[in-house]
Amino acid sequence: MSSAPPSSPDSDTGFSFPPELGEAIMISAYLNFCFFVAEIAFVQYGPPPHHRHALDMMAHILTGPIAFLGFLNGGFLGSFAFFFSLWHFLCDSNRARPSLVRVLPTSMAEFWVWFESLWLLIHHWFIGTFKLLSTELRIPGTDTNAEPIRYYIRTWILGATLSHLSFGMGALGMGGASFVRIASVGFRMGAALTIVLKQFGTNFTIAYTWDLIWMSVILALTCRKAICAGSAETEHDDGKQRRATRLSRLSLIGDSAGAGADSLVRVEMEQRLRDRASARAPHGGDAARARIHTVGASPPPSPAGHKV
């Protein structure tokens, strides 16, 4: 009587939920929650807003080398540097950032900022899980260093980090930022699509199918922002005074990233967070809130104004 040969532990013929995957998901969730709380603390008690913009710019520029070194080398230093850059050195100055998911939207404009913040938080969780599986908690049969998939994965990392480099170039006013941004999308989505089509394994297929979905949603949000960029300039006369008040609030907290509609909505959401903190801690938070509203009232010229 013949018996079926035992399956190799390195084979990957179908999706499974190995304990390493559950462990990576749990650890990534915990680490990202810690950085989530740290971002809140850094916004309330950290450096002035214009200093945060400079740190955010440096985070974009350094994400490339940090991500490559983090994926190629595990250990405490590589993993911590990776998560630290993933969270923009706790100085995310974009119109949406993960910690804004605490504010439930009260209008359609706020919904888009809230949804993008939620989408970024999911991204951090997913990317953190993938990083841990790549260097710390390897799933049997899922080797990110095997040939030829290692080249596709590194091309994917190249595309993912080039987008951050383009943001840093844009903040410096350097030419070619748009070209680098377009190239980043091509490298990232091209590599992910190749991995999915070549079917290196079901776990890889699921991971990079999700990345394609995530990128598609981000591109849709980017197109929406581009189409609606001028909406703040088309308000009726009876709303101009309200918009002037919102712009004044924007300058008080030192946000020099721009006065787009989404940026203004983000400021209003942040203001509700400060009001909520004030209600919970009526005495201890007064000094901190006063500093938040006064620092950066006269920020230095933005580096975006200098062309290179």
Residue bearing the bigger pLDDT, 258 or 104: 104
pLDDT band at 266; cut points 50, 70, 90: low
Task: Give this prediction's pTM.
Answer: 0.69
Which is nearest to 300 in space by CA: 84, 77, 47, 97? 47
pLDDT band at 165; cut points 50, 70, 90: very high
User: How confident is the model over 193-231, as pLDDT tens digits?
Assistant: 998 988 766 778 888 899 999 999 999 988 887 787 655
Which residue shows structure tokens 């939207």? 105
User: How confident is the model over 90-120, as pLDDT tens digits?
Assistant: 888 777 889 889 888 888 888 988 999 999 9
Which is nearest to 95 in space by CA: 265, 232, 242, 243? 265
**Mean pLDDT lowest among 34-48, 95-109, 232-246, 271-285:** 232-246
Q: Is the pLDDT of residue 236 over 60?
A: no
pLDDT at 181: 92
- For residue 282, give Cα distances in angstroms to 38, 41, 116, 267, 294: 22, 17, 31, 21, 19
